[in-house]
């Protein structure tokens, strides 16, 4: 029974994290705002902070947005209607490299459960 409760908790916590993925495409920075791979953030407010100004956009129905690179974005702030918020700090090196590691959903759940079970097994071992 405890295992089922921990599994449901691990799935539920991961579903409420807002993520930003940015990919450089020649003259544009393609931004995708999502909760999980299947659930995108539709019409989320995205603020682009540059050196001189702050611009506000909204994502489309697919959770995507194109930002011209000539704006030189420094920070991207995505805010969902219910208050979920994610901040992505950018630099020219980050935009050029774009090295984001994305783990599959099932692997995140497995790692989370492994950490939780290890914690409880460690407590049990320490108790003996």
Contact of 63 with 80, CB cutoff 8 Å = no
> What percentage of the chain carries pLDDT values higher than 70?
77
Q: In what order do the strands lie in the sheet with 64-68?
A: 19-25, 28-34, 64-68
Does residue 86 surpass a pLDDT of 80? yes
Mind listing the pLDDT tens digit for each residue in 3-60?
666 666 665 555 567 888 888 777 888 888 888 767 888 888 888 888 888 888 888 8
Contact of 67 with 29, CB cutoff 8 Å = yes
For the question of whether the overall pTM of this predicted structure is more than 0.75, the answer is no
Residue 105 CA, chain-centre distance (Å), reads: 12
Q: What is the DSSP string of 15-33?
A: HT--EEEEEEETTEEEEEE
Domain residue extents for the chain: 2-127
- Provide the strand spans (E) within 70-119: 75-79, 85-89
Residue 62 CA, chain-centre distance (Å), reads: 15
CATH topology of domain 2-127: Immunoglobulin-like (2.60.40)
Helices (H), 16-104: 92-97
Task: Tell me the longest C-alpha to C-alpha distance in the chain.
Answer: 62
């Amino acid at each position: 029974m405890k295992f089922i409760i921990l599994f449901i908790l691990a799935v539920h916590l991961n579903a409420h994290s807002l993520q930003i993925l940015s990919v450089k495409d020649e003259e544009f920075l393609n931004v995708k705002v999502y909760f999980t791979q299947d659930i995108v953030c539709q019409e989320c407010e995205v603020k682009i902070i540059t050196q001189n100004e702050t611009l506000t956009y909204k994502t489309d129905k697919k959770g995507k947005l194109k930002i011209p690179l000539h704006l030189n974005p420094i920070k991207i702030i995505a805010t969902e209607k219910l208050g979920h918020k994610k901040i992505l700090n950018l630099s020219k090196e980050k935009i050029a490299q774009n090295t984001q590691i994305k783990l599959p959903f099932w692997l995140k759940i497995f790692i989370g459960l492994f950490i939780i079970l290890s914690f409880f097994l460690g407590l049990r071992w320490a108790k003996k």
